[in-house]
Chain A
């Protein structure tokens, strides 16, 4: 029982309750928020260059959002009771309120925005497709085939409004995840007002990197030309936001080192031993400094297209690793030391259990599968659908 314990831990602290699944949860939620922010760049801030990724970003956000509660659900001792969170939410609990923020974001923002944006396509495809697909599209039209100009103009305006509401909602969604950790005064590794802010910016970084990678990958699979203006613009935003994110994380770090409160010696020791690889090596050097430097290169030098593509790919992958490491260090790191500040325990990841490695891999791949289905159902590529539109609108 006491294996892996150094120094003194309160006896109930030896077992660690928040496993790799709880690492996955802020990671996935972060991808959602980041992808949505990227989509809103085009819609609200009129950055037209990123338009080719607009729909892809929305679908990515939806795919990941649908999976986000699964790791939470699986780690519960009694998953069958999880609806109590909605039936009798406790007002003072950040976790209970997150349930409603999640529902709001899923039902009022993301689904509505996607539906409005795709409505014309859905109506068209409800008529042009057959079999099960036709049936799905017909349900999605909600029985209204009205896609005349004025209806679409209304959709456009309402959609813009939803995106406008969506930006603070996305901030709220992921800021709230940060608050779940940042509000725990018992845990000095978590307790920080910066936590929600750091979570939001790291979320944007990871979400933007993920959509950029997905866009390049899908274009390659579809043997189409990558819109370099689009990717360059995304990379530029990634670079800027990454710098803000890194500054905030360093601010937190410097503050902790300089204040050196009662918990500092313990946390400092932990960062230099048990978290050394995941925090110093993976999160800071491999996952943050390297991609920032790579992206800086593309901003400073005039590099050929092929070099930029490769740099973006490498930087994007490293970013995703780095942000995952960041979530790991927050969630797992926060449970490795004793609240007596006198000792440390060890986290041993299980392999094939409900909270094990295989499950977390499955949960990481599941959103990609959902995205594949969504892309099949609601193709984000306008050109093919548009080709069919004149005929049907004429028929209207």
Chain B
């Protein structure tokens, strides 16, 4: 298919305009996005995750995540018989290259748990930031202002889920932005886009037409570490009690 960009503009004006708006800048200037009309979250279906690591790779490509640090990662749990309090967990390089194959084990079960920032509504990380460099945006995403962050790492200590790190070159806090630059342009997150099984679904809790409402009504859904009362907005379907 040998079409130049200019030709495409002529051939497919509607598509081209859509793409231009995708590439355009800010939520304010993109005509259809109003921060107050959204409240972002994510749905993760454990029963669909195959541990391929696509989401981790996509996140690193999309967000330029430094090696050895993770905005999202995948854990593999192995729970033997009734030992729920002693799961064996691995996440080699965050699951970026997938996981080693295992032969069937009659004594236990295996499953994958993708992790990312829970976009907590009562987030302990934004609570402790001394200067207001990390905050919950009006549309419910926990963001870091990297031009304002001191790099004190207090937020890293305060996150119960281990979702934050200090960027080794920028020396500021870094974390999942729920692909804020994508979701404000009508795209889904890079991890959801790259997930082959639909185990990850971006969801807008303020949109009454979002399928998440139907899903939450009909499934047994949990959040991680509910005892922390963080108001986590990443919902897990089929989550085993051993997951922490």
Chain A residues closer than 8 Å to B130, beta-carbon distance: 84-85, 89-90, 93, 95-96, 99
Task: Choose among A13, A185, A186, A340 the residue with the greatest number of B CB atoms under 10 Å from its CB.
Answer: A186
Task: Please report whether the interface of chain B is mostly helix, strand, loop or mixed according to DSSP.
Answer: loop
Chain B residues closer than 8 Å to A17, beta-carbon distance: 153, 156-157, 166
Q: How far is the CA of A78 from the CA of B149 in the complex (A)?
A: 8
Size range of the interface on B?
35 or more
Chain B residues closer than 8 Å to A341, beta-carbon distance: 244
Chain B residues closer than 8 Å to A84, beta-carbon distance: 130-131, 133, 148, 150
| Stretch of A4-12, A119-127, A246-254, A313-321 lying at the B interface | A4-12
Count chain A residues whose beta carbon lies closer than 8 angstroms to a beta carbon of B. 43
Whether, in the assembled complex, B73 has its beta carbon less than 8 Å from a beta carbon of chain A, the answer is: yes
Whether, in the assembled complex, A144 has its beta carbon less than 8 Å from a beta carbon of chain B, the answer is: no
User: Which of A8, A18, A87, A186 is close to B159, meaning CB atoms less than 8 Å apart?
Assistant: A186
Q: How far is the CA of A89 from the CA of B124 in the complex (A)?
A: 17
- Enumerate B118-165 residues with CB–CB distance to A below 8 Å: 124, 127-133, 148-154, 156-165
Contact yes or no, B149 A77, CB < 8 A: yes
Contact yes or no, B154 A76, CB < 8 A: no
- Enumerate A89-112 residues with CB–CB distance to B below 8 Å: 89-90, 92-96, 99
Contact yes or no, B154 A95, CB < 8 A: yes
Q: Mark A1-36, 1 if CB is under 8 A from B, else 0.
A: 100000011111111011000000000000000000
Chain A residues closer than 8 Å to B89, beta-carbon distance: 8, 340, 342
Contact yes or no, B157 A95, CB < 8 A: no
Whether, in the assembled complex, A338 has its beta carbon less than 8 Å from a beta carbon of chain B, the answer is: yes
Q: Mark A68-95, 1 if CB is under 8 A from B, else 0.
A: 0000100111100110110111101111
Chain A residues closer than 8 Å to B166, beta-carbon distance: 15, 17, 77
Q: How far is the CA of A180 from the CA of B130 in the complex (A)?
A: 11
| Closest Cβ neighbor of B135 among chain A residues | A90
Chain B residues closer than 8 Å to A18, beta-carbon distance: 153, 157
Whether, in the assembled complex, A293 has its beta carbon less than 8 Å from a beta carbon of chain B, the answer is: no
Whether, in the assembled complex, B87 has its beta carbon less than 8 Å from a beta carbon of chain A, the answer is: yes
User: Which of B131, B154, B156, B157 is close to A88, meaning CB atoms less than 8 Å apart?
Assistant: B131
Whether, in the assembled complex, B23 has its beta carbon less than 8 Å from a beta carbon of chain A, the answer is: no
Q: How far is the CA of A93 from the CA of B130 in the complex (A)?
A: 5
Q: How far is the CA of A88 from the CA of B135 in the complex (A)?
A: 13
| Closest Cβ neighbor of A86 among chain B residues | B131
Q: How far is the CA of A136 from the CA of B75 in the complex (A)?
A: 64
Chain B residues closer than 8 Å to A77, beta-carbon distance: 149-153, 166, 170-172
Q: How far is the CA of A61 from the CA of B131 in the complex (A)?
A: 28
Contact yes or no, B162 A10, CB < 8 A: yes
Q: How far is the CA of A17 from the CA of B244 in the complex (A)?
A: 22
Contact yes or no, B244 A76, CB < 8 A: no
Q: Mark A143-183, 1 if CB is under 8 A from B, else 0.
A: 00000000000000000000000000000000000001001
Contact yes or no, A76 B151, CB < 8 A: yes
Q: In the complex, what's the smallest C-beta–C-beta distance from B122 to chain A, in angstroms?
A: 11
Q: In the complex, what's the smallest C-beta–C-beta distance from B29 to chain A, in angstroms?
A: 26
Q: How far is the CA of A213 from the CA of B69 in the complex (A)?
A: 46
Contact yes or no, A93 B148, CB < 8 A: no
Contact yes or no, A185 B124, CB < 8 A: yes
Q: In the complex, what's the smallest C-beta–C-beta distance from B182 to chain A, in angstroms?
A: 22
| Closest Cβ neighbor of A95 among chain B residues | B130
Chain B residues closer than 8 Å to A95, beta-carbon distance: 128, 130, 152, 154
Q: How far is the CA of A11 from the CA of B124 in the complex (A)?
A: 20
| Closest Cβ neighbor of A99 among chain B residues | B130
Whether, in the assembled complex, B24 has its beta carbon less than 8 Å from a beta carbon of chain A, the answer is: no
User: Which of A82, A85, A184, A338 is close to B162, meaning CB atoms less than 8 Å apart?
Assistant: A338
Chain A residues closer than 8 Å to B152, beta-carbon distance: 72, 75-77, 95
Whether, in the assembled complex, B11 has its beta carbon less than 8 Å from a beta carbon of chain A, the answer is: no
Q: How far is the CA of A84 from the CA of B151 in the complex (A)?
A: 12
Contact yes or no, A12 B148, CB < 8 A: no
Q: In the complex, what's the smallest C-beta–C-beta distance from A185 to chain B, in angstroms?
A: 6
Q: Mark B108-124, 1 if CB is under 8 A from A, else 0.
A: 00000001000000001
- Enumerate B50-85 residues with CB–CB distance to A below 8 Å: 68-70, 73, 75
Contact yes or no, A186 B150, CB < 8 A: no
Task: Choose among B88, B133, B152, B156 the residue with the greatest number of A CB atoms under 10 Å from its CB.
Answer: B152
User: Which of A13, A14, A92, A99 is close to B127, meaning CB atoms less than 8 Å apart?
Assistant: A92
Whether, in the assembled complex, A138 has its beta carbon less than 8 Å from a beta carbon of chain B, the answer is: no
A residues whose Cβ falls under 8 Å from a Cβ of B: 1, 8-15, 17-18, 72, 75-78, 81-82, 84-85, 87-90, 92-96, 99, 180, 183-187, 334-335, 338-342
11 contacts between A and B (CB under 8 A): A8-B90, A75-B152, A78-B149, A85-B150, A93-B127, A94-B128, A95-B152, A180-B154, A185-B124, A339-B160, A342-B87
A76-B150, A78-B151, A99-B130 given; 11 more Cβ-contact pairs under 8 Å: A11-B73, A12-B165, A15-B166, A76-B152, A77-B150, A78-B149, A81-B148, A85-B131, A90-B131, A184-B158, A339-B160
The 4 closest A-B pairs by CB, nearest first: A77-B151, A10-B162, A77-B171, A186-B160
